[in-house]
Structure 1
Amino acid sequence: MPATVNPAEVDFTAIRAQGAGGQNVNKVSNAVHLRFAIHASSLPEAIKERLLALSDQRITTEGVVVIKAQTSRSLEQNKAEALERLQALVDSVATQPKARKPTKPTFGSKQRRLEGKATRSQVKQQRGRVRGVD
């Protein structure tokens, strides 16, 4: 069962968007800052730990996810996009990664490695000063 983000735990702040857009951008606050406190959320503990362990620049040292959405001219569409991006972030850590099983190199791969080393050694031994026949 995937963990879903409760919209009541998300804090939205309307801000002015950056970039081109003329008068609309200058007078209307349609961009959105989404803030989501991981520690105070109702997500399962395992997902909280994996979220906090991520090296994502959107997660602050206090454990708050900050997402900025400003692609649309509509405040509601920007809110929806920010929520989708937050949900995608949570979904990316929802499944526990498989534990790696250490393996040993096969006999054939060892042989090929040693043959390559021997060939390279021969090439290097043949380098050097050319002596003339006296």
Structure 2
Amino acid sequence: RIKHYQRLLARKRVANGKKATQANNYVKTRAKLQRDYRKVANIQHDIVQKFTTMLVNNYDRIAIEDLAVKQMQMSHVASKGLHRSMFGYFKQVLKYKCEWYGKELILADRYYPSTQRCSQCGHVK
């Protein structure tokens, strides 16, 4: 539905130019688009809240990697996917819930070579 309303708005802008934003049908369509965006955002926030609550209830210690989310969003490689995944919001919610429930949140260093380290002897490639 979001794609549909965006397409309608784009068509109205192309046809009417600057006057399109003042037209009643344009305003109604934009309100419908905003409603659908709000619905998607509410669903995403609900999922993050429920998932973090489940994590905090089931585990005493939670470890996540401390990523530079802002810097990663500025690169054009994975910015859209990272923004959609809401990792920054996830980390923020998990942090305050761990403090709230008295659980321990461990932020792993982003430069720690965990994938290159041998699990047996600790040798780094």
TM-score, normalised to structure 1, is 0.20
- TM-score, with length taken from structure 2: 0.21
